[in-house]
Amino acid sequence: MFIFDISNPLTLILMLAATVLLIFLAQEIKKSYIAAILLFAYLVVLIMHVAQMATLPEEFRYMLSILSRCIAIDFIFILITFFSYLWVDDIEAKAEGKKSIDSSLDWFWKKI
């Protein structure tokens, strides 16, 4: 059974580097859809890990701890990309002079 093991340190570092670079790209070109695509991708990975955990055969029960770690890491990446999406959306809205999707975090962005 194939499991996309993101709890592996090398994979984790590569995914974190790719996430940071894509968020930086979204911030530089002021396009929030890049962060939204990244958020959607991490949601798909989370759904995949949960489905694998739910349908895990008996002979692969030793992989439960790996899948649990992967799900926890998925939630961390979703949190990071969600806040990044809100941040880039705020930057895009200010650059284009339109209303942001959610402006309830203005106090937070001003402190950064």
| pLDDT tens digit sequence for 60-95 | 888 899 999 999 999 999 999 999 998 898 888 888
Tokens of 18: 């790719």
Whether the CB-CB separation of 95 and 42 falls below 8 Å is answered with no
pTM: 0.83
- Does the residue 3 lie in any domain? no
Distance CA 49, CA 73 (A): 11
88 occurs within a structural domain:
yes
Q: How confident is the model at residue 109 (pLDDT cuts 50, 70, 90)?
A: low
Residue 2 lies in a domain: no
Whether residue 83 is contained in a domain is answered as: yes
Residue 38 falls within a domain, yes or no?
yes
| Within-domain flag for 24 | yes
pLDDT at 104 over 70: no
Provide the residue range defining the domain that includes 38: 9-111
Number of domains the chain is built from: 1
Shortest CA distance to 103 belongs to which of 93, 112, 111?
A: 93
In a domain, 31, yes or no: yes
Contacts of 58 (CB under 8 A, 6+ apart): none
88-112 residues labelled b (16+ CB within 10 A) or e (exposed):
bbbbbbeeeeeebeeeeeeeeeeee
Residue 99 lies in a domain: yes
- Dihedral (CA of 36, 41, 42, 44) sign: positive
